[in-house]
Chains A and B, each alone.
Chain A
């Protein structure tokens, strides 16, 4: 199932409500402006609900996309008329027979939100997850471990910041600066990581592949438009990771990297990754991460020479980013390169930067300590088991981590 989905990534045809949400939101936002964001959200939800009620096996619109757009737009117009007792200027209700070929404005919306000042990247990511990637608050909460109330607050704050005057000014801007492209890349990278390592309890899966594929699709649109080295390398990184998705979990069990069936990795995407991997004029994190991912997927031997080489790449990466996750990766590599004391020193430095019982940190620390201090190592895993809510992750720890301690 996932393989089929991934194969169709280059030419997606099926209608996905999540993707559709982002397209409808962007189209209506650019037509009606940022003062109607809440009404637009309601209108899209209402259009989806109406589709649920009225589409039947013998009664499906010729273009579902067009149907949803017309119904959402009419719903929005009715809301505006009801709430403001006025008719939105220059807009009339449309009939379902009319063809409305809607341009995909999701990238334009992303760039616009990215250029708003005085708002943190985290808030932008949350707002974009909801309105461009079509995730519900509860899904964002489960994927990011951020409490629903905090997400509501972030979204409301974002809506207040996107004031109509500023929105209008930004939509008139003809050029997009490099900084704005970098923020969009950062947002897509964050969104991708949420999809690639999801904590969604109900699905009992650690991957939300829809989000990963949409992040890739938008990164490709960004590259088509601005052709920067960093976007190209971001795409390469996404391709290398997505190529492994179908092997990462089998029968609701996490398959560790070294036990994955290499023949099941998607070679089309690996090749695409190498096509997009370009040496940049200025070193960026996506390039180094893509190089590491590609080496991991193509090396013949995971020996000391290999781990020393990867350690150097992570050290280089740390000159660009201060990410604690990169530091944990470095610790793991140092340990593999038999530099355990150095790895433990690094772990001490980052322990306070992360939440208590951080999953990845705890797993790496327990692994590093297993020969030096097996009692402490077991205690870390016990604490972790009490804090992990996803069954699939619990099973993975019990079946794959504990026996090796």
Chain B
């Protein structure tokens, strides 16, 4: 099976304005979705990401602390998924709760040594 990284680009403004009830419902939706993926054997792992982080760039290793909010979206988490083909992952990703509040998901196939 091939592996795919699903990046969750969250809509920051929408997330900041969620009510407690909406937050609870979103959490439950992620929970149910991850459970379903686990049961079907498509889930390898997944985690939420903290807003702050550190960037190190260039030969001089310039260290810059986050958060890096350059657009209205921010990567808030990821799922590492597996399937026989990209089409399956696209269908699965359409149901990702990230979309419920204006977020975007990005699928990045993991480079496979055999295919290079």
Contact = CB atoms under 8 A, between A and B. Distances in A.
B23 A48 contact: yes
B53 to A, nearest CB: 13
Given A57-B35, A57-B38, A17 B24 contact: yes
Contacts of A44: 20
Contact of B20 (A18, A53, A57, A138): A18
Contacts of A266: none
Interface string B17-48: 11111111011001100110010000000111
Nearest to A22: B20
Nearest to A202: B22
Contacts of A48: 20, 23-24
Interface in B73-106: 76-77
A17 B19 CA distance: 9
B48 A53 contact: yes
B19 A139 contact: yes
A293 to B, nearest CB: 28
A275 B47 CA distance: 50
Interface size class of A (residues with CB under 8 A): 20 to 34
A11 interface: no
B49 interface: yes
Nearest to B21: A18
A17 B30 CA distance: 16
A52 B21 contact: no
Given A17-B20, A210-B21, A53 B77 contact: yes
A20 B27 CA distance: 15
A56 B20 contact: no
Contacts of B24: 16-18, 48
Contact of A134 (B20, B27, B77): B20
B55 to A, nearest CB: 20
Interface in A23-63: 44, 48-49, 51-57
B48 A17 contact: no
Main SS at interface, chain A: helix
A138 B17 contact: yes
Contacts of B38: 57
A135 interface: yes
A132 to B, nearest CB: 12
Contact of B49 (A16, A18, A53): A53
A361 interface: no
Interface in B35-70: 35, 38, 46-50
Contacts of A210: 21
A187 B30 CA distance: 36
A221 to B, nearest CB: 20
Interface in A219-264: none
A135 B27 contact: no
B34 A56 contact: yes
A172 B57 CA distance: 56
B34 A17 contact: no
B19 A135 contact: yes
B15 interface: yes
A216 B27 CA distance: 27
Given A49-B15, A136-B17, A138-B17, A57 B23 contact: no
A160 B38 CA distance: 50
A21 B30 CA distance: 21
Nearest to A20: B20
Interface in A94-147: 134-136, 138-139
Contacts of A21: 20
Given A17-B24, A51-B27, A56 B19 contact: no
Given A49-B15, A138-B17, A56 B23 contact: no
A18 B24 CA distance: 9
Given A44-B20, A136-B21, 9 more contacts: A17-B20, A17-B24, A53-B48, A57-B34, A135-B19, A138-B17, A138-B19, A139-B19, A210-B21
30 contacts: A16-B24, A17-B20, A17-B21, A17-B24, A44-B20, A48-B20, A48-B23, A49-B15, A49-B23, A52-B30, A53-B76, A54-B47, A54-B48, A55-B27, A56-B31, A56-B34, A56-B46, A56-B47, A57-B34, A57-B38, A134-B19, A134-B20, A135-B19, A136-B17, A136-B20, A136-B21, A138-B17, A138-B19, A139-B19, A210-B21
**Lowest 10 CB-CB distances: which A-B pairs, in order?**
A53-B48, A136-B19, A17-B24, A17-B20, A134-B20, A48-B23, A52-B27, A21-B20, A57-B35, A18-B20
